[in-house]
Structure 1
């Protein structure tokens, strides 16, 4: 059996009071790397192994861009050519993607469905909320 993983951006939060107090660019706003509705599909088979490429080229559906998002010096790590990438987000969700690509339960006993996990990136002033789903494919 082959396993794929679909990652969907469910939401983006913003805590402007924390940005004002702690960030070098106090009006940074929401994350510019991802849009609500973005969908990424990860494969791991003989032809393709997206995990080891940290998700490069996995964007299959783009969500709606936010208005007024400030591109600050801290966002230069975001992807180019329509392929968003953020090392902080990858650090937060990659373990769940890896487990699911191996056919494992993503978060046994915590979620209603062992094939689903809700996680967020590490940015405490503007976190992005991800839904991570294991999809089982019969060969």
Structure 2
């Protein structure tokens, strides 16, 4: 059995009151490198090893410009997002449970990046295939 991991951006949030209070640029806005609905597919097999390339060129669907979306052909995943979700991607690519006992489906995880003023919400799914 082989495993791949699908990432979907469920939402991009914005907390302008925190940006106003704490950021150098108080009008930074939402995350500029992910869009709601973006989808990424990670493989780790004899042909591809997307994990060790921090998600570079894993983008499979976007309404934005693929060259400007993290995970597209020119940008790896944002370091804050990668830090927050890479452990789940790795576990899924190895066939492990992503969040047993917490999520209804142990092969699915809902999580977000570490940016407290404009977090991106991700759905991570382990997909088993032959």
Q: Same fold (TM over 0.5)?
A: yes
Provide structure 1 residue ranges, at least 5 long, that are not aligned to the other structure: 66-77
1:86 match: 78
Secondary structure of the residue aligned to 1:19 is helix
Q: Please give the TM-score of this superposition, normalised by the length of structure 1.
A: 0.85
Question: 1:80/1:114 Cα in 2 relative to 1: closer, same or farther (>3 Å)?
Answer: closer
Provide structure 2 residue ranges, at least 5 long, that are not aligned to the other structure: none
- 1:85 shift after superposition: 2.7
Secondary structure of the residue aligned to 1:103 is coil
Moved over 6 A (4+): none
Q: CA RMSD in A?
A: 1.7
Secondary structure of the residue aligned to 1:56 is coil
The total of aligned residue pairs comes to 126
2:20 match: 20
Secondary structure of the residue aligned to 1:3 is strand
Question: 1:11/1:121 Cα in 2 relative to 1: closer, same or farther (>3 Å)?
Answer: same
- 1:83 shift after superposition: 4.3
1:107 match: 99
Alpha carbons 1:33, 1:84 under 8 Å: kept: no
